Amino acid sequence: MQMETFPTFQSPEIIIHSANQLLTLAGPAPKRGAAQGDLAILRDGAVAISGDKILAVGSTLDILGLADSRTRKIDARGKIVLPGFVDAHTPAVFAGDRANEFEARLQGATYLEIQKAGGGIMSTVRATRAAPLHELVAQSRPRLEAMLAHGTTTAEVKTGYGLNLETELKMFQAIAALDAEHAMDLVPTFLGAHVVPEEYRGREGAYVELVVEEMLPAVKLKVKSQKSKVFCDVFCDEGAFTVEQARRILTAARDWEFGLRVHADEFANLGAARLAAELGAASADHLMVTTRDDMQAMARANVTAVLLPGTTFGLGKSNFADGRAFVEENVPVALGSDINPGTCWCESMPFIIALACRYEKLTPAQAIVAATINAAHSLGLADRVGSLAPGKLADVLIADVPDYRHLAYRFGANPIEMVIKRGKIVKSQIDP
Ligand code: NIG
């Protein structure tokens, strides 16, 4: 491959060279069908970084030729280099925990039974409403730290533990504060329709109207992101919102120019994936009980399937989403950690990749595409992150494994040795 460079007179501050495999993920996004596993690997590859951008990608010989006396050269011999992971689905901002519910589930209670009895999401809503902003930020920060240390450099973050305007806006403030102070880039999503809060029990329609008439316009007015779209998501499932309610909220959100995401088919297939297709949503997420017909509708409408194997694992269930079927049906597949206090407290994208390969039938290459460029595509960021190409943000990982398959093959330890975010080394276990 020819060296590709970004036109600039800057010399590189950092060059990572001699990688056993440099996974560029280059090529059109999203990668779907036969391209879902296309890592575009360079052997003995190198990447040059200038400021917050990738300056050049190519062979070690060519790229080292760009170095001058100021360039820091990092030797990745025997290792792999890849783009920072993009996490397409996280409710990572919340207060408290639900370890008690985890134990209750181990003793036989189901997630939906706990929710019906007043626990579940509502229990985190109570804790999140009670937490002052600084406390919510302080409790969420270590989770972002752990995600970054495991290689995640961009993450979608949902609200959805406020369920009243005041707390939903407080959650957006927490996301903005964390985005400003933390290396990771955060993409905000409004999930005011996570469940119907307890004070609206028996008046579900009134809550839907509140979301549509009050919350969406207020969020539109008050929440801005310089880095990405703001998204709106609805949990359309048994125990949450019906298809008609979800359609009403998402149609209004589309009118307000939010990007759309849908929690679909986690517990029951109500037709939520099909609704995502009907509305041209950016993503449908979970998809544990989705039919081939629904997948075909998603493919026709270019909806990305965001699979969350950590959630199925976290619930101790075995009906994992059928990732291979989505690939066969030409649906672009992305991955998310779904880090949340109820179903999946997992900060590690490498572990999510390991699960996706074992239980969702993705190959290691397909899972890595899902955790990088396809997740970026689902967030509208494929032109900036998710692959190693000149001009893109310098979000780069070094993993201490000799071959990309080891990212899925090994599990339980953290293979990510260096994390570079926007050109800055934010984690390093390599001697200078
Ligand atoms: O993605 N399904 C809805 N939301 C989360 C669970 C949130 C919770 O239980 O707190 C999920 O699994």
Instruction: Quote the number of domains for the chain.
Output: 2
Number of neighbouring beta carbons within 10 Å of residue 269: 18
Distance 342 CA to ligand 1 centre (A): 6
**CA neighbor of 428 nearest in space, from 52, 123, 76, 19:** 76
Q: Note the pLDDT of residue 8.
A: 62
209 and 354 assigned to the same domain: yes
135 and 243 assigned to the same domain: yes
Q: Where are the alpha helices (DSSP H) in 256-394?
A: 272-279, 292-300, 309-314, 323-328, 349-359, 364-370, 373-378
Q: With DSSP H G I counted as helix, E B as strand and the rest as coil, what are the percentages for the chain, rounded to 5?
A: 35, 25, 40
Q: Is 285 in the pocket of ligand 1 (CB under 6 A)?
A: no
367 and 397 assigned to the same domain: no
Distance 77 CA to ligand 1 centre (A): 41
Q: Note the pLDDT of residue 7.
A: 65
151 and 273 assigned to the same domain: yes
258 and 324 assigned to the same domain: yes
76 and 124 assigned to the same domain: no
For residue 250, what is the domain's CATH number? 3.20.20.140
For residue 398, what is the domain's CATH number? 2.30.40.10
393 and 415 assigned to the same domain: yes
335 and 192 assigned to the same domain: yes
Contact 18, 77 (CB under 8 A): yes
Cα distance between residue 400 and residue 115, in whole Å: 42
Q: Note the pLDDT of residue 2.
A: 65
Cα distance between residue 272 and residue 367, in whole Å: 24
Q: Is the dihedral of CA 286, 291, 295, 300 positive or negative?
A: negative
- Max CA pair span of the chain: 70
Cα distance between residue 163 and residue 390, in whole Å: 42
Distance 193 CA to ligand 1 centre (A): 12
Contact 122, 160 (CB under 8 A): no
* DSSP letter assigned to residue 395: -
User: 48-74, pLDDT tens digit by residue?
Assistant: 999 999 999 999 999 999 999 999 999
Cα distance between residue 101 and residue 242, in whole Å: 25
Among 343, 344, 346, name the best residue to mutate to test ligand 1's pocket (greatest count of ligand atoms within 8 A of Cβ). Answer: 343
The amino acid at 157: V
Cα distance between residue 193 and residue 129, in whole Å: 16
79 and 90 assigned to the same domain: no
Q: Is 343 in the pocket of ligand 1 (CB under 6 A)?
A: yes
40 and 98 assigned to the same domain: no
Instruction: Return the ligand 1 atom nearest residue 338 CA.
Output: 1
Range of the domain at 182: 86-378
Element (H, E) at 205: helix 204-209
Q: Note the pLDDT of residue 172.
A: 98
331 and 198 assigned to the same domain: yes
Q: Which residues of the chain have pLDDT under 50?
A: none
Please give the model's pTM, rounded to 2 decimal places.
0.97
301 and 414 assigned to the same domain: no
In a 10 Å sphere around its CB, with 0-12 CB exposed, 13-18 middle and 19+ buried, how is residue 1 labelled?
A: middle
User: 410-430, pLDDT tens digit by residue?
Assistant: 999 999 999 999 999 999 988
